[in-house]
A and B are shown apart, each in its own frame.
Chain A
C-alpha cells in the first residue's frame, strides 16, 4: 500500500528558515533507513507558499491568487511517498522522524488510491489508460 506522508507547514517553513545542520544530518540518516528498508519511493520539500499561487474554480471561471496563504496549519511544507504493508506500519515509521530539538510539528498520513480500490466506475478503458500512463511515468524515473 502506498501512503503520502505530509509534513505540515509552520511559521518557520513559511518564513523559509533553513533547518539546522543537526536536523539535516539526522533527516539524511532517517531517509537512508527508509531507502534501506525498501519503503522510500519519493521525498520532496516545497518552497514557502509566498512563492506559490492558488487557482480557484467557480462558475466556470478560474481565479488566480498569489501566496502566501493565511492558514499555515492547513498548508504543506513537504512530503514523502512510502510503500508499506499497512497504515500502522506507516504510523510506526512516522513516530521515528528525527526531532533533535523536540519541536512540535504535524504529519498527516494519507493512503494513495490504487487501481484495485475502484469498482466499475473505473472502466476497463480507464484502467488501461491509467496503467499506460503509470508505465510512461515509471520509464521517466
Chain B
C-alpha cells in the first residue's frame, strides 16, 4: 500500500519568499530520510518553497482565476511530503511518528489511490493511466 506523509509546518503559511530550513533541521531530516530509504519504504520525497512564492487557481463558473501567494485565509499549508510503500496504515503512522518534526508540526498520513481500488467502470475509463505514470517516471531520468 502506498501512503503520503504530508508535512504541515506551523507558521509556514506566513513564511517569506526565500525561507529555507536551517542546517541542523536539514541534517536531522536527512537522517530520517536515510532510515526510510534503508528500510526500503521510501518512494519519493520533496520540500516545497513557501506559499508566498506560489499561486492558487480557482474556477468560479468554470473560468480560471489566479491568485498569487501568500494566502491570507490559509491556516495550514503543505511544507513537503514523503511517499512510502508499506504493509499497512499502522506501519505508515509508525513511520510518521518517527519523523524529527518540530514543535506543533503535523504530519497527515493519506492512502494513495491505486487503480485496483476503483470499481470496474472507473478502471475502464481511466485505462492507460498506470502506463502514463510509468512513462512519465522514465522521462524523469532524462
Closest to B131 in A: A35
Q: Which listed residue (B48, B49, B80, B111) contacts A51, Cβ 8 A? A: B111
Q: Is the CB of A76 within 8 A of B6?
A: yes
Does the CB pair B20–A45 fall under 8 Å? no
- Tell me if B75 and A71 are in contact (CB < 8 A): yes
Chain B, 123-138, contact with A by CB distance < 8 Å: what is the 0/1 string? 0011111001101111
Q: With A25-B125, A74-B74, A121-B26 as given contacts, are A44 and B112 in contact (CB-CB < 8 Å)?
A: yes
A53 to B108, CA, bound (A): 6
Please report the total number of B residues contacting A with Cβ < 8 Å.
78
A11 beta carbon closer than 8 Å to chain B: no
Chain A's closest residue to B18 (CB) is A117
Which among B53, B118, B140 is the interface contact of A141 at CB below 8 angstroms? Answer: B140
A41 to B142 CA separation, bound complex (whole angstroms): 11
Contact, CB under 8 Å: B30 / A99: no
B residues 85-105 with Cβ under 8 Å of A? 89, 93, 96-97, 99, 101-105
Cβ of B116 < 8 Å from any Cβ of A?
no
Residues of B within 8 A of A138 (CB): 140-141
Q: Which of A47, A64, A103, A126 contacts B30 (CB 8 A)?
A: A126
Partner of A47, one of B34, B111, B133: B111
Determine if A87 is an interface residue (Cβ-Cβ < 8 Å): yes
Decide: A18 and B119 in contact? CB cutoff 8 A: yes
A28 near B129: Cβ-Cβ < 8 Å: yes
Q: Report chain A residues within 8 Å CB of B74.
A: 74
Tell whether, in the assembled complex, residue A57 and residue B102 are in contact, meaning their CB atoms are under 8 Å apart.
yes
CA of A93 to CA of B115 in the docked complex: distance in angstroms?
Answer: 25
Q: Is the CB of B103 within 8 A of A57?
A: yes
Say whether B47 faces chain A, with CB atoms less than 8 Å apart. Answer: yes
Whether B140 lies near A41 (C-beta < 8 A) is yes
